A and B are shown apart, each in its own frame.
Chain A
């Protein structure tokens, strides 16, 4: 039997005129052809306000409900599955609004009320038989579960059947919650069923039942005593899994902020002495408290607990929870209130692997908000992060996606140049590296005359080696100009090294470096010499452009250059086709004649239009082509210098206390 036939099998009656929209909904359900009557759907859903008002009226008037039930859902109906299908259609036609759900809830409860216990159970099972709709249909059942009686054994079995099918949805957990709230004795009885221990879902059900009971003030005193005994049994159970279940019962209350502060503190203290598995519940509890509606006091209890447990060896999940806790509280709880800076928790969980995008995203959110709200604290935090955990930070930055948003906004801030220049000259390696990174990433262009501290020897060696290993491209000129102001001109070695590097860069990138440092060099004697030498170099090359020493052609090379260009074009085309959604979506035409094109579309020939050319060029680093060995060697030497400096640093006194 088709859905259509099933719907039509329901007897039709005339409705009172004071519920016109409800009438229309049910009329539309009856008129359901293989396809829904879309026009009616539109008209009902556009009348949302009137519909809401009408539903409120209907639900408040038992007589209307009774009439509706009598007409649309007579209890004589034998086909409960067809009823479920009809209610699905009502939901669809009337829209997924809270009040639509309320109407259906009332109808379902009203429908089931007069039924004998066996039939009620059949109806419940019928409604939940279609597991694909289970989450939505769970919403229809809360009133029935709350107001009607069902044997605990039946509900226990039914919950265990339905809950696994609920999957990621949480519809049925709310049914469990309603049951617990409305029937505390039944809930406690269900929680005491020993079979619940046999499956994870059974244990989860018990936790939910107990959690619902322990923070429910309406629990009768006798039940409360039994409940306390049950909880105590779990808390002191020899099996750690049972103890974990006990701890999990707090999560529900934590979410709602129901746990008394002292009790929370006590639980968290208990966790300090617990197993690692039990402690992991602490992180769950922390997230629940901080992302729920708990008080500031609760948050502070959690942050203090995290202070002792946020460690480098935390799992990625735990690190995520710490990062989230910091993000949610850094602004609402001050350092003075807390007694320490919760941002330090972000350092405590380092190193965070670059692929833990969630953790880095929360860190980015924290820093991004802080950057605008408390710039000083932001700068301090970033510097500390770079000082202590540069490698992790670098990996995350190199990963490409982390901090994109943050960097985009940071580049617009007025103090960024001074900040980056400042940390570039730091005595700390991590800060210097972050400075070098930000220089390039933010494409900063500081002008000559920016005041800066002079390099010491170690600082200069590190700057130089890092500059050489980073293959600075966009901001090469700016970085040299900034560094030129920090070179100690009394130090002959430093001057020579700097000029040699600047000369190399001028030769390597005449467009990006030489052309751009020419103007600042007028006021920077160190660079002036470099510019003069580089100009002389290019003048010589220009004079020698047609020199007989290199005028001869290289046999066969031209042929291969052409072949390579063809291959490169093909590879680029293939890559573009592969990576471009646009190229994949449109059909391709290959022109053979003509310099304009027209196309036939749906029988009409378009007017001719011209061909568009596009090209992109960038400056190739010259020395990489002229002397790749030296370029490579230079980089290897720089890496060796950095390694040597690192060894010295590790063997010497720590730079940052």
Chain B
């Protein structure tokens, strides 16, 4: 996040606040009075008067039932010689509002403060500060100037009187300088955010504490920030929370990816909120936060480190040797997924339709694709899917180059992937011979430690392999047949070119999946029901048929299956949520991606039901 972005977010956030924080009949109302109080404290001033009683726990403050005399907040300076009186307005400073919204009255009353009370005995000067979080115009400012000139320069006989005006810009600047802390948020979030900030300063990305303590707390905080009716204000509140959290991050290299992890969960929460809200302003705010924080930071991360991914074995880690292939695969797929998301996000951005912009966009896309290719070529872990859900990252890689029209790269990549999987499957003692169908890292580790598959069905069905087989249809015709044949005969049926068994320890069935209608909600929800626990499993029996279709070519059998699946279980890929976010949610929740995302690019549209032959 850049300084400009932060400035913008703070500006949006502060301007979206009311004057006072309070619980109303309509719901919770967050005011910038709280910000003023915290700024005062940050300046070292002592609070003298507040407009409300502090809330207890998560409850909001309650307004005091006493005359304000135009004063919302009053502070003593640190040496107690100056009194700072804040007049707060959540209105624009305009000529019309100056009187209508009682700017003049409140300023006048604040300037006439009674300093005869003993507590003011040391006061030598009074500063009346008009703070407002909306726009202003020249006429409004003129009115302010005119009025303050008439109110004189003294209070009583001794104390000087000065007037200041803190407009939105000044408020933002003050917050940037003094209040990028959990105290910026309303008091009821202070504790949770403080705790999250403490955790990000202490835990390492990926550690048990990160996964088991920080992430649940972070998700809970995001939920509470976006609870109730979603407004732009709540979106901006998340927007300003992000830099606060980031600022507190542990000073170590792992926090760079740790930050992206936190931002990703925030993006999923925001887009989930955006889906819930019908307000277009909310969607725009979410889009802005998404693009200006996550996407920007992701791109910046790879601008710094993307080239390193292309260095030979750059993801090599010092790990116990049996875990090393898994660790490096984990890291490689982590980057492959993010780069795929970044590429797709950039490709879907609508730039001004100028040649220069188009060229710049093309260069950005080529650069991201270059990083992906470098990663795959330099790090063997990128050719080693461990979980079945790694098909999402593989799809993102394929999509990138397919859309670039790089068929040569795709052909080579699919061939290499097939060979890698084949070599793995031939290692009858190696736990990695199977792709973890439960998408659970702990199962993989358990298998490595114990040497036994965690469950009987572990790795015995594969959606990933079916996808790789279907992706074969994207190859040029001259390469397709050989790829499909080798992949199917060797990897799926486990036979060599002479039809002799390759001696695989287990058989694996290619498995399709049709998601349920509420897939999008489920995958975005990260809730108790996982997206892949709904829908229909489409078991292929590896396309082996004993009926009249035995002589049917393999490609025809696969196409027939695809046609039927699409016809019987149609899936609409259009969504109000960007695909990048859906793909990110799949990666983060380890949920499968509906096949339609690649099928729509490879296969022709499904036929009408009456044109499809009945299943055999």
* A412 at the binding interface (Cβ < 8 Å): no
Query: Quick check: A554 and B206 within 8 Å, CB to CB?
Result: yes
* A565 at the binding interface (Cβ < 8 Å): yes
Query: Quick check: A561 and B380 within 8 Å, CB to CB?
Result: no
- In the bound complex, residues from chain B placing their C-beta under 8 Å from that of A537 are 312-313
- With A537-B312, A632-B423 known as contacts, the answer to whether A553 contacts B445 (CB < 8 A) is no
The CA of A620 and the CA of B325, in the complex, are separated in Å by 14
- With A557-B323, A559-B208, A627-B380 known as contacts, the answer to whether A552 contacts B258 (CB < 8 A) is yes
* B477 at the binding interface (Cβ < 8 Å): no
* A600 at the binding interface (Cβ < 8 Å): no
- With A549-B309, A560-B323 known as contacts, the answer to whether A541 contacts B314 (CB < 8 A) is yes
- In the bound complex, residues from chain A placing their C-beta under 8 Å from that of B322 are 564
Query: Quick check: B305 and A553 within 8 Å, CB to CB?
Result: no
The CA of A517 and the CA of B315, in the complex, are separated in Å by 26
Question: Which of B328-336, B393-401, B545-553 lies at the binding interface?
Answer: B328-336
The CA of A564 and the CA of B305, in the complex, are separated in Å by 33
Contact flags A542-553 to B (C-beta < 8 A → 1, else 0): 001011111111
* B610 at the binding interface (Cβ < 8 Å): no
- In the bound complex, residues from chain B placing their C-beta under 8 Å from that of A548 are 253-257, 301, 304-305
* B153 at the binding interface (Cβ < 8 Å): no
The CA of A609 and the CA of B445, in the complex, are separated in Å by 41
The CA of A548 and the CA of B445, in the complex, are separated in Å by 24
* A372 at the binding interface (Cβ < 8 Å): no
- With A548-B301, A560-B445 known as contacts, the answer to whether A626 contacts B427 (CB < 8 A) is no
The CA of A632 and the CA of B427, in the complex, are separated in Å by 9
Query: Quick check: A556 and B208 within 8 Å, CB to CB?
Result: yes
- In the bound complex, residues from chain A placing their C-beta under 8 Å from that of B334 are 552
Query: Quick check: A555 and B380 within 8 Å, CB to CB?
Result: no
- In the bound complex, residues from chain A placing their C-beta under 8 Å from that of B253 are 546-548, 551
Q: What secondary structure prevails in chain A residues at the interface with B?
A: helix
The CA of A180 and the CA of B328, in the complex, are separated in Å by 84
Query: Quick check: A561 and B323 within 8 Å, CB to CB?
Result: yes
Contact flags B305-346 to A (C-beta < 8 A → 1, else 0): 100110111111101111111111011001100000000000
* B137 at the binding interface (Cβ < 8 Å): no
- In the bound complex, residues from chain B placing their C-beta under 8 Å from that of A630 are 380
Q: Which residue of B lies closest to A627 (CB)?
A: B380
Question: Which of A507, A547, A550 has the most chain B CB atoms inside 10 A of its CB?
Answer: A550
Query: Quick check: B441 and A555 within 8 Å, CB to CB?
Result: yes
Query: Quick check: A552 and B323 within 8 Å, CB to CB?
Result: no
Q: Which residue of A lies closest to B315 (CB)?
A: A550
- In the bound complex, residues from chain A placing their C-beta under 8 Å from that of B256 are 548, 551
- With A555-B211, A557-B327, A564-B320 known as contacts, the answer to whether A550 contacts B314 (CB < 8 A) is yes
A542 to chain B, nearest CB (A): 11
- Chain A interface residue count, CB cutoff 8 Å, equals 36
The CA of A554 and the CA of B311, in the complex, are separated in Å by 21
Pick the contact of A552 from B208, B257, B448 — CB < 8 Å? B257
- With A546-B253, A620-B321 known as contacts, the answer to whether A555 contacts B206 (CB < 8 A) is yes
- In the bound complex, residues from chain A placing their C-beta under 8 Å from that of B449 are 560, 563-564, 567
The CA of A549 and the CA of B308, in the complex, are separated in Å by 8
The CA of A629 and the CA of B419, in the complex, are separated in Å by 9
A560 to chain B, nearest CB (A): 4
Pick the contact of A549 from B331, B383, B420 — CB < 8 Å? B331
Query: Quick check: B257 and A636 within 8 Å, CB to CB?
Result: no
Contact flags A398-411 to B (C-beta < 8 A → 1, else 0): 00000000000000
The CA of A549 and the CA of B304, in the complex, are separated in Å by 10
Query: Quick check: A561 and B320 within 8 Å, CB to CB?
Result: yes
Pick the contact of A540 from B257, B314, B423 — CB < 8 Å? B314
- In the bound complex, residues from chain A placing their C-beta under 8 Å from that of B204 are 552-553
- With A554-B326, A554-B327 known as contacts, the answer to whether A629 contacts B315 (CB < 8 A) is no
Query: Quick check: A557 and B380 within 8 Å, CB to CB?
Result: no
- With A548-B257, A554-B441, A560-B446 known as contacts, the answer to whether A540 contacts B312 (CB < 8 A) is yes
The CA of A507 and the CA of B380, in the complex, are separated in Å by 14
The CA of A564 and the CA of B322, in the complex, are separated in Å by 9
B331 to chain A, nearest CB (A): 5
* A558 at the binding interface (Cβ < 8 Å): yes
Q: Which residue of B lies closest to A563 (CB)?
A: B449
Query: Quick check: B380 and A547 within 8 Å, CB to CB?
Result: no
Q: Which residue of A lies closest to B419 (CB)?
A: A633
* B157 at the binding interface (Cβ < 8 Å): no
- In the bound complex, residues from chain B placing their C-beta under 8 Å from that of A550 are 314-317, 331
Query: Quick check: A629 and B205 within 8 Å, CB to CB?
Result: no
The CA of A541 and the CA of B313, in the complex, are separated in Å by 8
- In the bound complex, residues from chain B placing their C-beta under 8 Å from that of A49 are none
The CA of A598 and the CA of B313, in the complex, are separated in Å by 51
Q: Which residue of A lies closest to B449 (CB)?
A: A564
The CA of A508 and the CA of B368, in the complex, are separated in Å by 30
- In the bound complex, residues from chain A placing their C-beta under 8 Å from that of B164 are none
- In the bound complex, residues from chain A placing their C-beta under 8 Å from that of B320 are 561, 564-565
Query: Quick check: B314 and A547 within 8 Å, CB to CB?
Result: yes
* A625 at the binding interface (Cβ < 8 Å): yes
The CA of A636 and the CA of B424, in the complex, are separated in Å by 12
Query: Quick check: A544 and B423 within 8 Å, CB to CB?
Result: no
Contact flags B217-246 to A (C-beta < 8 A → 1, else 0): 000000000000000000000000000000
Query: Quick check: B316 and A629 within 8 Å, CB to CB?
Result: no
The CA of A627 and the CA of B416, in the complex, are separated in Å by 13
- In the bound complex, residues from chain A placing their C-beta under 8 Å from that of B309 are 549
The CA of A556 and the CA of B383, in the complex, are separated in Å by 22
The CA of A541 and the CA of B328, in the complex, are separated in Å by 14
Query: Quick check: B441 and A629 within 8 Å, CB to CB?
Result: no
Query: Quick check: B208 and A555 within 8 Å, CB to CB?
Result: yes
Contact flags A628-649 to B (C-beta < 8 A → 1, else 0): 1110110010000000000000
* B207 at the binding interface (Cβ < 8 Å): yes
* B134 at the binding interface (Cβ < 8 Å): no
* B68 at the binding interface (Cβ < 8 Å): no
- In the bound complex, residues from chain A placing their C-beta under 8 Å from that of B419 are 629, 633
- With A547-B305, A550-B317 known as contacts, the answer to whether A556 contacts B331 (CB < 8 A) is no
- In the bound complex, residues from chain A placing their C-beta under 8 Å from that of B279 are none
B434 to chain A, nearest CB (A): 14
Query: Quick check: B335 and A549 within 8 Å, CB to CB?
Result: yes
* A-B pairs, 3 with minimum CB distance: A553-B206, A560-B445, A548-B256
Which A residues have a C-beta under 8 Å from some C-beta of B?
Answer: 507, 537, 540-541, 544, 546-561, 563-565, 567, 620, 622, 625-630, 632-633, 636
Additional pairs, 10, CB under 8 Å, beyond known A626-B313, A628-B427, A632-B427 = A541-B313, A547-B253, A548-B304, A550-B315, A552-B258, A555-B210, A556-B208, A556-B441, A567-B449, A636-B423
User: What are 6 A-B pairs with beta-carbon distances under 8 A?
Assistant: A548-B254, A548-B256, A554-B319, A557-B323, A625-B324, A632-B423
